[in-house]
Structure 1
Amino acid sequence: MSIAELRSSTTTGTARDTGIDFVRALCVLGVVVLHSLMVGVTVTEAGPLFANASDGAAWITPLSWVLQVMPLFFVIGGFAGYTSLRRAQQRGGTAKEFVAARIHRLVLPAVFTIGVVGVVLTVLLDNGVPSDLVAIAGYRYGQPLWFLGVFLLCQVLLPLFAAAHRRAPWITIALLIATAVAVDAARNATGIDGLGFMNLAFVWLALQQLGFFFADGRIDSLSRRTRIVIGASAVAVLTSTFITGVYSPDLIANINPPTASLLLVGVAHTMLLSLMRDRVARWSRLPLPSRFLTFVTPRAMTIYLWHMPVLLAMAGASAVFAMTTGIELPEPSSIGWWMTRPLWLVTVVALTAGIALLLAGIEARRIPTPTRSAGRLFAASAIGTVAIVGLLVIGTTPLTAMIAVVLLTASLRLARPRHADSAAWPSRSPGSAATSARAMQKA
């Protein structure tokens, strides 16, 4: 299938873009691999020590240039969301149905995962595990949840920004980019790092907005030479910011809080993906890649939510093994440590895949006909975001996990219909609302 055919199928809604699905699945795998390499476990006389193996390590910078896939993930999220919304609207669906489906798809598996983690932390404390170790485990678990909160916000706002894109595409993305750069400038000028957290909205929304340009065919319509020049220019500007000290060459360091350097990464990745789109689409239809994306696509959120609990369990098991056998664990970043990483990575991927296989039914559950109330949907998204932010700011403990589960459950309830809403639903063909909601949830 050529780019022209891909663009046609995207516009008419006749087929999914398996190439884009394949790249998104690779992004999920990249996140799992990156986080797996960050786990460092050693045992000292004082007991087990859990740390970020990449702290101060020289290898993280070049590795981050390969595995910092979050900018591309948000671009693809914008592509998929814009395409899904347009297809559903062509079938008579609404933006409210899109938002309700997104809340359901993202929040439902999180409720179960956070609840299980809260129970496990309680069991560890009740069985005498030192509270400081449990606190570290809770902190490490909560760190990747920033993605859930931010992606939820971006997807909830997607219909509004999609409408802005249709009316004024260049002005909308320019304002988002300019604001992200201004936030970085203010942060650097004042020395107040907290200002950078405003870019949790502006950087990722700008990258999602870039995905709209990809979805409507504007990027693919550029000449091959133009796309090469744009991508190369983004890399050149990014490199100059490293040389001048504006941004860290460690792209992982540029994610907390996010900086405008990630916008340049997203532009470079998007141009590269556009240039290779035909080839990637062909690869995605080969037997092995096809099985890979078929497995990951309906389980992406489950994989993301469960890979960190798997890593923490493996880290704890490694510490217990060392303490009971007396076998010394290799120092993180040492030669011995790197020799054990292939087995470590294979085990992480296998265990996470096994859990995803068992629990994917939670993520796959279909949303009922959504509420008609925009106010309820806004409240649902706000409550869900607050629940995740609470875990990030306060930390994941048995109490905060319980509170988060209550809030996320409330978010799901608000995104579902009340009997009065369902009775008052505008006249349509039977089942059209539920059908369109299911279609949006699949994307």
Structure 2
Amino acid sequence: MIVAGFACLGPLVILGEYSASMLTNQWPPTLPLAVLAVIQAALLTLLHRPLTAIMETRPAQAIVFFLGSRLMSVYLWHVPAIVLLTGVQLLWWPMPDPGTGAWWLSRPIFVVAVLLVVWAISTVTKRWESPQPILSPRWPSDAVTVIAVALFVFQSLAISSYGLDLPLAVLGLVCTAIAVVLTGGSSNVRAPDVPSSTAEAMPPSPR
């Protein structure tokens, strides 16, 4: 299945409906992208046992811990890093036409440069990924949670459907900021329900 899937990807991309825009291919998923998802699922299923054995070793756990503690920074900052480096490249020398031999030869250097920039950013932002102690948990109400989720999902669907331009980028920024404020800084909060038996067993708080 894996070999056959990879063999079909090329013709599907060349002959099928496949856009150069990543967002266009994702919403709704094009046939090549769906086939790629099946290939990846089959490959992970095939490699499940050896990967599990590898993850039982200390070196693998250390690598995963190191990368995992910075994954959110990588996810959030890799696109700005790519845009920044692309702008720098355009200022210093002309970029080869995408898909040409010169363009492909420049990709490894560009990828390494992006990784270095993202790594530098992660050294600063990793402190925000570390779990912070919660002294007094506060939870938004159900209504606030629903509104925050709706705002976040709405802008995500809009960008996936129509592409990322300046108005939608501003919309996404505003909706995400409001959602974060509602869930993290709202004054309309309630404490989580505590069973009566648990509450009776808890020692009285010091005054």
CA-to-aligned-CA distance 1:39-77 (integer Å, 9 cap, x gap): xxxxxxxxxxxxxxxxxxxxxxxxxxxxxxxxxxxxxxx
8 Å CA contact 2:156–2:172 kept in 1: the answer is: yes
* Structure 1 residue 401: Cα displacement: 5.2
* Structure 1 residue 247: Cα displacement: 5.4
Structure 1 gaps of 5+ residues are 1-230, 323-327, 431-443
Match of 2:55 among 264, 269, 284: 284
1:315 maps onto 2:86 in alignment:
yes
Structure 2 gaps of 5+ residues are 200-207
1:235 maps onto 2:1 in alignment:
no
Q: Which residue of 1 aligns with 2:111?
A: 345
Q: Residues 347 and 387 of structure 1: is their aligned pair in 2 closer, same or farther, counting only changes over 3 Å?
A: same
Match of 2:190 among 401, 415, 421: 421
3-state SS of 1:257 partner: coil
Identity of aligned residues (%): 19
Task: Give the distance between the partners of 1:298 and 1:254, measured in 2 at CA.
Answer: 30
8 Å CA contact 1:377–1:415 kept in 2: the answer is: yes
8 Å CA contact 2:2–2:39 kept in 1: the answer is: yes
Match of 1:299 among 45, 50, 70: 70
Q: Which amino acid aligns with 1:386?
A: F
The aligned runs of 1:134-153 (5 Å cut-off) are: none
CA-to-aligned-CA distance 1:236-285 (integer Å, 9 cap, x gap): 9x66x939x665599x6743531355444333322321222121123335
Q: Which residue of 1 aligns with 2:46?
A: 275
* Structure 1 residue 370: Cα displacement: 5.5
CA-to-aligned-CA distance 1:120-174 (integer Å, 9 cap, x gap): xxxxxxxxxxxxxxxxxxxxxxxxxxxxxxxxxxxxxxxxxxxxxxxxxxxxxxx
* Structure 1 residue 355: Cα displacement: 0.9
Task: Give the distance between the partners of 1:419 and 1:302, measured in 2 at CA.
Answer: 30
Q: Which residue of 1 aligns with 2:146?
A: 378
CA-to-aligned-CA distance 1:353-386 (integer Å, 9 cap, x gap): 2212211233445596363633322211111223
Q: Which amino acid aligns with 2:190?
A: D
8 Å CA contact 2:140–2:189 kept in 1: the answer is: no
Task: Give the distance between the partners of 1:312 and 1:348, measured in 2 at CA.
Answer: 10
Higher helix share: 1
Q: Which residue of 2 aligns with 1:72?
A: none
Q: Which residue of 1 aligns with 2:204?
A: none
8 Å CA contact 1:380–1:410 kept in 2: the answer is: yes
Task: Give the distance between the partners of 1:335 and 1:271, measured in 2 at CA.
Answer: 32
8 Å CA contact 2:148–2:182 kept in 1: the answer is: yes
1:336 maps onto 2:106 in alignment:
no
Task: Give the distance between the partners of 2:12 and 2:104, measured in 1 at CA.
Answer: 27
Q: Name which of structure 1's ranges 385-394 and 302-311 shifts more when overlaid on structure 2.
A: 385-394
TM-score, length of structure 1 as denominator length = 0.35
Q: Which residue of 1 aligns with 2:202?
A: none
Q: Which residue of 2 aligns with 1:362?
A: 128
1:410 maps onto 2:178 in alignment:
yes
Task: Give the distance between the partners of 2:163 and 2:25, measured in 1 at CA.
Answer: 22
Task: Give the distance between the partners of 2:125 and 2:104, measured in 1 at CA.
Answer: 31
Task: Give the distance between the partners of 1:409 and 1:419, measured in 2 at CA.
Answer: 17
Task: Give the distance between the partners of 1:357 and 1:427, measured in 2 at CA.
Answer: 42
Q: Residues 247 and 409 of structure 1: is their aligned pair in 2 closer, same or farther, counting only changes over 3 Å?
A: closer
TM-score, length of structure 2 as denominator length = 0.67
Q: Which amino acid aligns with 2:64?
A: L
Q: Residues 275 and 370 of structure 1: is their aligned pair in 2 closer, same or farther, counting only changes over 3 Å?
A: farther
Task: Give the distance between the partners of 1:304 and 1:402, measured in 2 at CA.
Answer: 19
The aligned runs of 1:430-441 (5 Å cut-off) are: none
Q: 1 or 2 for the larger relative contact order (CA 8 Å, sep ≥6)?
A: 1
- RMSD over aligned CA atoms reads 4.1
* Structure 1 residue 347: Cα displacement: 1.0
Task: Give the distance between the partners of 1:420 and 1:329, measured in 2 at CA.
Answer: 52
Larger gyration radius, structure 1 or structure 2: 2
Q: Residues 361 and 288 of structure 1: is their aligned pair in 2 closer, same or farther, counting only changes over 3 Å?
A: same
Q: Residues 374 and 263 of structure 1: is their aligned pair in 2 closer, same or farther, counting only changes over 3 Å?
A: farther
8 Å CA contact 2:139–2:189 kept in 1: the answer is: no
Task: Give the distance between the partners of 1:234 and 1:374, measured in 2 at CA.
Answer: 48
8 Å CA contact 1:234–1:268 kept in 2: the answer is: no
Task: Give the distance between the partners of 1:321 and 1:262, measured in 2 at CA.
Answer: 35
Task: Give the distance between the partners of 1:331 and 1:394, measured in 2 at CA.
Answer: 22
Q: Residues 277 and 265 of structure 1: is their aligned pair in 2 closer, same or farther, counting only changes over 3 Å?
A: same
8 Å CA contact 1:298–1:364 kept in 2: the answer is: yes
Aligned length: 192
